[in-house]
Amino acid sequence: MDFSIKGCDWTKGETKGFATGKADCIVLGVFEAQTLSGAALDVDEATGGLVSRVVKAGDMDGKSGKTLFLHEVAGIGASRVLLVGLGKQDAFNQKAYRDAVRAAWRALLATRIAQVTFTLAQSLADDERGADWGVREAILALRGETYRFTAMKSKPEPVQYGLKRVVFTVDSDDVKPARDAIKRAVALANGMDLTRDLGNLPGSVCTPTYLANTAKTIAKDWKLKVDVLGLKQIEALKMGSFLSVTRGSVEPPQFIVLHYQGAAAKAAPVVLVGKGITFDTGGISLKPGEGMDEMKYDMCGAGSVLGTIRAVAEMGLKINVVGIIPTCENMPAGNATKPGDVVTSMKGLTIEVLNTDAEGRLILCDALTYAERFKPAAVIDIATLTGACIIALGHHNSGLFSKDDTLAGELLDASREANDPAWRLPLDDEYQEQLKSNFADVANIGGRPAGSVTAACFLSRFTDAYPWAHLDIAGTAWKSGAAKGATGRPVPLLAQFLIDRAGQ
């Protein structure tokens, strides 16, 4: 897909020639119960009032998300015009824009249209978000609509749409930031696609070794440094908590460390730690059979780290990032860890394993201890950690936990900018009482009340050395039901956080 920018000032009549430029279709926004303006007004004049007649006849009322094709249009270079309802102008916001954009792409992708002039980003002129944001959101929406996972199909369905080129019109002053937005949006979409692909692969393919090889491929493609530690090296580091999870599996565990250096070597990195359980049966605390196929997605935290670093490398951000991925399977076996066993973490804390299905925190805690050696500016762990987070927040917001208000604020700001929402949940010391153990320093679960909070409290015990935040993406990393599949979240949030940190 080819994307480009065209600067247009619709108020000065500069675009009369551009409206006659070659394109299969021009996409125009129409507000509800409003007179035409901007690109719609310009095209209306060029076509002898065609658009206004259609609106007056009631064929396009401007209601949010409504679309209408006009065919065999005379007076402009495009033979078709797609009118897209934007809703009421005084209620037009980012959500309304995204709804309109998705409606436009769905209408276009149902045709064989190949070249499009897309003017909707200019409808954000009076909004707090600029046209560059509008271009980025439009590209991400399009890439989301066109994503297909076909790697495991013997005869993939052929691509039905013909769209190959999109020209975004923006105000003349917005050309440079809009071009930068294209570069970043494409990089971000590529990172999200990688994260989706990894999450959608079956556990028989996407093993710990597969994740390690993916990290090596990213390192080779983008000239990064990667270290992959195997079983003996993990044992030498005394990661007893991590090893307790992998014990029942025949697949060897991997501990992946991927380095992106975009700033001076002495600059403290941001460390991203991703949970990489490539299949989670629950271990001896076996999960119910129904829906267990979805436990191949339990490595989406790891996938989001790989996708984010790939995106950051393509963007060329001036920041140092280290991705740490502890990855293994959680399987039942005669030698698997049993409820009631006590294991010793890399930090030296002993852990009573009351439930082997609370395994994510057991691999993450050793990775969080390992992160100390990088003297990080901040550490963020990302994990499909608890079903309790889905009960609390559903599938819209990722759960955010941190005792560092500044770091939490940065992540929330990034989530809003990236349209990848997160919600901050409590991390009060009182919740730590639920993790008391009679036989070890800490238990790995705290009971049903506030399950996502006590999971975060457990992780917090291993993060004293640096600013830390935890993202529970159990409800946002994938969709179930008819739309079952990985979403690519929270790659947009993480990438935006790193863009902001880099000051770019």
- The 3-state DSSP composition of the chain as helix, strand, coil percent (nearest 5) reads 40, 20, 40
Q: Which residues are catalytic?
A: 287, 361
Tokens of 236: 């030498």
What are the Cα distances from residue 329, in Å, to 191, 254, 389?
A: 24, 10, 22
Burial class (CB in 10 A: 0-12, 13-18, 19+), 399: buried
Burial annotation 230-262 (CB, 10 A radius, 16+ → b, else e): eeeebeebbbbbbbbbbbbbebbbbbbbbbbeb
| pTM of structure | 0.96
- What pLDDT score does 37 carry? 86
- What pLDDT score does 122 carry? 87
Evaluate whether 136 touches 180 at the Cβ level (below 8 Å).
Answer: no
Tell me the per-residue pLDDT of 202-237, one tens digit each, with 9 for 90 and over: 999 999 999 999 999 999 999 999 999 999 999 999
Evaluate whether 131 touches 170 at the Cβ level (below 8 Å).
Answer: yes
Distance CA 27, CA 105 (A): 10
Tokens of 214: 């993916």
Mapped onto helix, strand or coil, the DSSP state of residue 194 is: helix
Tell me the per-residue pLDDT of 69-122, one tens digit each, with 9 for 90 and over: 999 999 898 999 999 999 999 888 889 999 999 999 999 999 999 999 999 998
pLDDT in tens, the chain (504 residues): 999 999 987 666 555 545 666 899 999 999 998 888 888 998 999 999 999 999 999 999 999 999 999 999 998 989 999 999 999 998 888 899 999 999 999 999 999 999 999 999 988 765 567 889 999 999 999 999 999 999 999 998 888 889 999 999 999 889 999 999 999 999 999 999 999 999 999 999 999 999 999 999 999 999 999 999 999 999 999 999 999 999 999 999 999 999 999 999 999 999 999 999 999 999 999 999 999 999 999 999 999 999 999 999 999 999 999 999 999 999 999 999 999 999 999 999 999 999 999 999 999 999 999 999 999 999 999 999 999 999 999 999 999 999 999 999 999 999 999 999 999 999 999 999 999 999 999 999 999 999 999 999 999 999 999 999 999 999 999 999 999 999 999 999 999 999 999 997
Locus of tokens 């770019």: 504
> Domains in the chain, start-ordered, CATH in brackets?
2-188 (3.40.220.10), 201-502 (3.40.630.10)
Residue 483 has a CB neighbour count (10 Å cut-off) of 8
